[in-house]
Structure 1
Amino acid sequence: MKTDNRPWYWIPVLNFASGLPYAIIISVSVIMYKNLGINNEDIGIYTSLLYLPWVIKPLWSPFIDLYSTKRKWFLSMQLVISIAFLIVGLTIPFSNFFVISLAVFWVAAFASASNDVASDGFYMLALEKEQQSFFLGIRSTFYRLSMLTGNGLIVVIAGYLEQEYGDKQKAWSYTMIVVALIMAIITIYNFFSTPKTETTIVENKTELVPNKSFGAVFATFFQKKQIGLVLAFILLFRLGESQLLKMLTPFLIDPIAAGGMGLTTQDVGVIYGTFGVISLTVGGILGGIVISRDGLGKWMLPMILAMHLPIIGFILLSHFHPGSVVYVYLTVIAEQFGYGFGFAAFMMYLIYVADGESKTSHYSIATGFMALGMMLPGMLSGYIQEYLGYGNFFIWVFLATIPGLILSRFLIFPADFGKKSEQE
């Protein structure tokens, strides 16, 4: 039994430290390069490649399992990320900044993916299973909040500095330096707030003894029960969501004549930045609480339905285009609440899949397949939407959720997995 390590003090910030670098590297870099005069072809090719470390992170995750502690790994990686963002900020004024910044972003991307592996492993080692289920919603919520911070607040800062200085290079240089300082502060906080849980684990020789080779750690994942079904479920569970996330903002912004809702970018920011955040937070916290109370078995199906049924709202919006923005608000509120509530079940199931020896590596492999399941359909979503139009596209997205739903009914796992024990 692990002792109380005050998880409320470190879980939110540790997960914020996972989401913020991802947002900067994958999303904010696109806006930065566009504002700094890089053409769309280069932006599309090279910023898409920055996503690759998160897909292939299972290939090096066993090293994180076998050498040193998870705490040392994520603290080191967060420091590397801080330095990388600082270098990007300092080199933006250079004539060859595009090549230099891409190279540094690649380093930051690998460090960020490694930070995710170590943070996930630390979470599973530092908390009991009933605590893991309770804090799933908190983890998901703060990860999403960090994404909103990167895609919202950081971009706002850059825009303000562009107007203040009238110099886009200087503005983005200062912005990236600010991001580096934020990451450095987060790293320092995590150094003092995260418990040294693994010291006891090492002494008891229950986790970090390097008694398995790289290949053995990797291979044991594919020896788990129902592994074919498990991988199919992980890859297909987010088949609909992966396409929805790519085309949802274009749908809201495109004019009604093009099948969209005709909202301004500011409207979309307000909708997701206020009501969306509140709904996501409430849904995520509630999802963790009910799994902790009743176990995963009772809530798996209701949570999957809660996550996918709000797509019907977008089908209705795309077909009827109601004049009042209230309907958009209601649909987004339902979608964000359902995402926060339902995703807790999926993440809890991944923890079950990874459970056992080498859980950090196995969790990383599972999330790597999850990332692949998001990346490939997302790459095709634009082509599918253009071919079908928004109305039929959202119908297709809803139908794409069915395979994952069907597969979930054949998964075998303890019904009380994640349930808080009576003595707790």
Structure 2
Amino acid sequence: APARRRRLLAVVLGLAVLLAIELRWPWLRPLRDRIVAHVAGVPFFGQLSLEAWIAVVFLAAVAVCIALLGPLRRWLGQRDTSYARGFVVLLEQPRIDSALAFIVLFRAGESFLMKMRLPFLKGPGGMDDATFGFINGTLGWSVTLVATLIGGALIGRHGLRRWMWGFILAQNVPNLLYAWAASNDPATLGNVVLGAVVLVEDFGAGLGTAFFIVYLMRCVDPRHKATHMAVLTSIMSLGFTLAGVVSGFIAEAIGYASFFALTFLATLPSMLMIRWVPYLDHTRADELAATAGGPEVRPAGTQPTGLTAGGESAEKTTQA
């Protein structure tokens, strides 16, 4: 217990230092400047901010973990803590390397697009702050929410695989609308046309979110649900972070039209690897039950209620 408290304290202090650097506290500014000066001469990477460097390091750490799943699994297996057991169980899942790669890549195209959407609409598009806030905030948020609810309802009724390609394409194809808008004179298209492009993309993103959240839930072992969801959602966010590191450089180098076309190309790796991705037809709990030859493994407080119309397991929480 004392050792665990010391490790927890070290993590908290480390996060506090990172937060202090991020907020540019005056008494830490010399340290920040010294770190930035050491990497300023590195080609390309020297142009990155300290925050971007932190993101690159975290992404590299995830890539190393995926490449060294075997040794990492053995190392964690020697630690007798609930957190270590949760990680070991996650890493022992069949084809977990494919699942983790898919999770990182799934929203790559959208991540690049989202980082440069505001500069494009307010720059070449000539959209003012009030109009952008109304379209992207009020209307866009509402459209995304409605699409996510619709997507969740359709998946619950017919199953994940039936709607898989429809939702994935709905998320990725609208990127080409931005490429079309950028290839014309965006300012002459007007706010109505540009706003329609934004809302179509937001609706597709909502459907993609519905698919992705359901997929993440399928990867979770019910015995370590909280730990697994925390790890998987953290890995998911790395794609957004990396996009923020390089998207500005790419857009400046090749122009908005080519950049938005490139965001669609960035979606192809995740679509091409669909056939190797696990848990599209069943959940981790179903897999455990089939392996054990016993009843389905479910979290405490739930019981099976049969199958939905799409042949998928449904569950309800028992009342206390």
Q: Tell whether the structures are fold-level matches, with TM greater than 0.5.
A: yes
**Is the contact made by 1:312 and 1:398 (CA closer than 8 Å) also made in structure 2?**
yes
Rounded Cα–Cα distance in structure 1 between residues aligned with 2:278 and 2:87? 22
Structure 2 length normalisation: TM-score?
0.64
Rounded Cα–Cα distance in structure 2 between residues aligned with 1:343 and 1:306? 11
**1:178-327 matched pairs, under 5 angstroms:** 213-254=82-123, 260-320=124-184, 321=186, 322-327=188-193
**Is the contact made by 2:102 and 2:273 (CA closer than 8 Å) also made in structure 1?**
yes
Which amino acid counterpart does residue 252 of structure 1 have in structure 2?
A: L
Given the superposition, is the C-alpha separation of residues 337 and 420 from structure 1 closer, same or farther in structure 2, using an over 3 Å criterion? farther
Which amino acid counterpart does residue 214 of structure 1 have in structure 2?
A: Y
Q: How many residues align?
A: 234
Q: 1:369 aligns with which of 205, 213, 235?
A: 235
**Is the contact made by 1:296 and 1:416 (CA closer than 8 Å) also made in structure 2?**
no
SS of match in other structure, 1:409:
helix
Q: Would you say 1:356 and 2:222 are equivalent positions? A: yes
Structure 2 unmatched ranges of 5 or more: 1-18, 34-47, 63-79, 284-307
**Is the contact made by 2:218 and 2:282 (CA closer than 8 Å) also made in structure 1?**
no
**321-330 vs 217-226, which deviates more?**
321-330
**1:398-413 matched pairs, under 5 angstroms:** 398-413=264-279
> How big is the shift at 1:49?
8.2
Rounded Cα–Cα distance in structure 1 between residues aligned with 2:280 and 2:104? 22
Q: Would you say 1:344 and 2:210 are equivalent positions? A: yes
> How big is the shift at 1:50?
9.1
Rounded Cα–Cα distance in structure 1 between residues aligned with 2:257 and 2:126? 15
Rounded Cα–Cα distance in structure 1 between residues aligned with 2:244 and 2:86? 30
Structure 1 unmatched ranges of 5 or more: 1-25, 59-210, 255-259
**Is the contact made by 1:306 and 1:338 (CA closer than 8 Å) also made in structure 2?**
yes
**Is the contact made by 1:294 and 1:416 (CA closer than 8 Å) also made in structure 2?**
no
Which amino acid counterpart does residue 87 of structure 2 have in structure 1?
A: F
> How big is the shift at 1:412?
3.1
Given the superposition, is the C-alpha separation of residues 386 and 45 from structure 1 closer, same or farther in structure 2, using an over 3 Å criterion? closer
CA offsets 1:344-385 (integer angstroms, 9 cap, x no match): 101111111113321211121111211222212321111111
Rounded Cα–Cα distance in structure 2 between residues aligned with 1:228 and 1:46? 29
Which amino acid counterpart does residue 111 of structure 2 have in structure 1?
A: S
**Is the contact made by 1:292 and 1:420 (CA closer than 8 Å) also made in structure 2?**
no
Rounded Cα–Cα distance in structure 2 between residues aligned with 1:423 and 1:246? 39
CA offsets 1:256-307 (integer angstroms, 9 cap, x no match): xxxx212112221121123212211211110111111111121111111111
CA offsets 1:146-198 (integer angstroms, 9 cap, x no match): xxxxxxxxxxxxxxxxxxxxxxxxxxxxxxxxxxxxxxxxxxxxxxxxxxxxx
Rounded Cα–Cα distance in structure 2 between residues aligned with 1:382 and 1:388? 10
Rounded Cα–Cα distance in structure 2 between residues aligned with 1:341 and 1:380? 26
- Counterpart for residue 415 of structure 1: 281
Given the superposition, is the C-alpha separation of residues 310 and 51 from structure 1 closer, same or farther in structure 2, using an over 3 Å criterion? same
Percentage identity across aligned positions? 32
**Is the contact made by 1:313 and 1:331 (CA closer than 8 Å) also made in structure 2?**
yes
**Is the contact made by 1:246 and 1:381 (CA closer than 8 Å) also made in structure 2?**
yes
**Is the contact made by 2:220 and 2:229 (CA closer than 8 Å) also made in structure 1?**
yes
Structure 1 length normalisation: TM-score?
0.49
> How big is the shift at 1:328?
0.7
Given the superposition, is the C-alpha separation of residues 304 and 244 from structure 1 closer, same or farther in structure 2, using an over 3 Å criterion? same
**Is the contact made by 2:98 and 2:278 (CA closer than 8 Å) also made in structure 1?**
no
- Counterpart for residue 393 of structure 1: 259
Given the superposition, is the C-alpha separation of residues 228 and 414 from structure 1 closer, same or farther in structure 2, using an over 3 Å criterion? closer
Rounded Cα–Cα distance in structure 1 between residues aligned with 2:192 and 2:207? 22
Q: Would you say 1:382 and 2:244 are equivalent positions? A: no
Which amino acid counterpart does residue 197 of structure 2 have in structure 1?
A: T
**1:14-25 matched pairs, under 5 angstroms:** none
Comparing both structures, which one devotes a greater share of its residues to helix?
Answer: 1
Q: What is the root-mean-square deviation in Å for CA atoms of aligned residues?
A: 3.5
**213-222 vs 313-322, which deviates more?**
213-222
**Is the contact made by 1:295 and 1:416 (CA closer than 8 Å) also made in structure 2?**
no
Rounded Cα–Cα distance in structure 2 between residues aligned with 1:214 and 1:281? 33
> How big is the shift at 1:393?
0.3
